[in-house]
Amino acid sequence: MRRPPRREGGAPRRPRVPPPEAGVERPHYRQRFAPGIGPEPIPPAAPPPPEPPADAMPLFVATKNPGKARELAAMLADAPFHVVGPELIGDLEAPAEDGATFEANARKKAIHYSRLVEHLVVADDSGLEVDALRGEPGVRSARLGGHAASDADRVRLILSKLEGVPWEERGARFRCVLAVARRGAVLETFEGVVEGRIAFEPAGAEGFGYDPIFFYEPAEMTFAEMTAVEKNRVSHRAQALERAAGWLADWARAKRR
């Protein structure tokens, strides 16, 4: 599997909690650092990518999660593929996600759906790993609290488990493994990881899942406070897809010959 490079160390900065002193206005995170000092701010939002070419090849994205489907489609919009799947996958039998690792689940889903559709299939499994919870919820991220639990329910459950845990011990990461398959065989896998910490309370209204409590230190805000464009530049899923992009482009060119 192609894995991301190890993250360089560095002293973490504290989040925007507790709140600033009364009467002290905090600058927006883009204005907080002079050029060359502190973390590199996220660049301004880029214009939306162009529509895929008319001869783009279909790429089946295997997920029933609407938030994940939107992210994957947006990040693949400038690739030589036409993303399909979310509107069709409800009619297909889903495999049990009972693997012990993200890679096992991604492989299982990719193989399963590649036997049901003619297209190249991209499937991923991803989730949150919290250090103070010994890596939980991990592969259970989407099922934490039971199948009836909402995103808000799962956020509250994580916060309750971390009650009293100090900031320095609230390290966490989002991990994603993406598998590409066709006709029942996995062709390649890619992994992406983004490090952060669990905030003391939710913040932001964007994204989905655990985004409101995942504090991304380089931007000094949660994923849910970031725009979709900003998040898609640094997220675990974006990293996995970035590593897959070259491989997918080469695969498409080879098939056109």
pLDDT on residue 176: 96
Query: Has residue 9 been placed in a domain?
Result: no
Judge if pTM exceeds 0.95.
no
pLDDT at 57 over 90: no
Query: Has residue 20 been placed in a domain?
Result: no
Q: Which structural domain, as residue segments, surrounds residue 209? A: 54-256
CATH number of the domain where residue 146 is located: 3.90.950.10
pLDDT at 24 over 60: no
- SS3 at position 231: helix
Q: How far is CA 214 from CA 28, 131, 159, 165, 207, in A?
A: 19, 13, 11, 15, 11
Averaged pLDDT for residues 78-107: 83
Q: Of residues 125, 131, 151, 250, which has the active-site annotation? A: 125
Query: Has residue 79 been placed in a domain?
Result: yes
Query: Which of 61-65, 161-165, 187-191 has the lowest average pLDDT?
Result: 61-65
Query: Has residue 46 been placed in a domain?
Result: no
**Nearest Cα to 99, choosing from 139, 145, 54, 152?**
139
Query: Which of 114-128, 181-195, 223-237, 238-252 has the lowest average pLDDT?
Result: 238-252
* Residue indicated by tokens 């056109």: 256
Amino acid at site 156 = R
Averaged pLDDT for residues 49-77: 71
Strand partners for 19:
none
- Provide the domain count of the chain: 1
Establish whether 125 is a catalytic residue: yes
pLDDT on residue 46: 41
pLDDT tens per residue across span 97-111: 899 999 999 999 999
Query: Has residue 21 been placed in a domain?
Result: no
CA–CA distance, 243 with 235 (Å, rounded to integer): 12
> Are 217 and 199 within 8 A, CB to CB?
no
pLDDT on residue 257: 67
pLDDT on residue 55: 64
Task: Spell out a b/e string for 15-37, using b for 16 or more CB atoms within 10 Å of the CB, else e.
Answer: bbeeeeeeeeeeeebeeeeeeee
pLDDT on residue 159: 98
pLDDT on residue 8: 44
Query: Has residue 5 been placed in a domain?
Result: no
Query: Has residue 118 been placed in a domain?
Result: yes
CA–CA distance, 246 with 236 (Å, rounded to integer): 17
Q: Is 148 exposed, middle or buried (0-12, 13-18, 19+ CB in 10 A)?
A: exposed
Residue 88 has what DSSP assignment? T
With cut-offs at 50, 70 and 90, classify the pLDDT of residue 13: very low
Query: Has residue 3 been placed in a domain?
Result: no
pLDDT at 123 over 80: yes
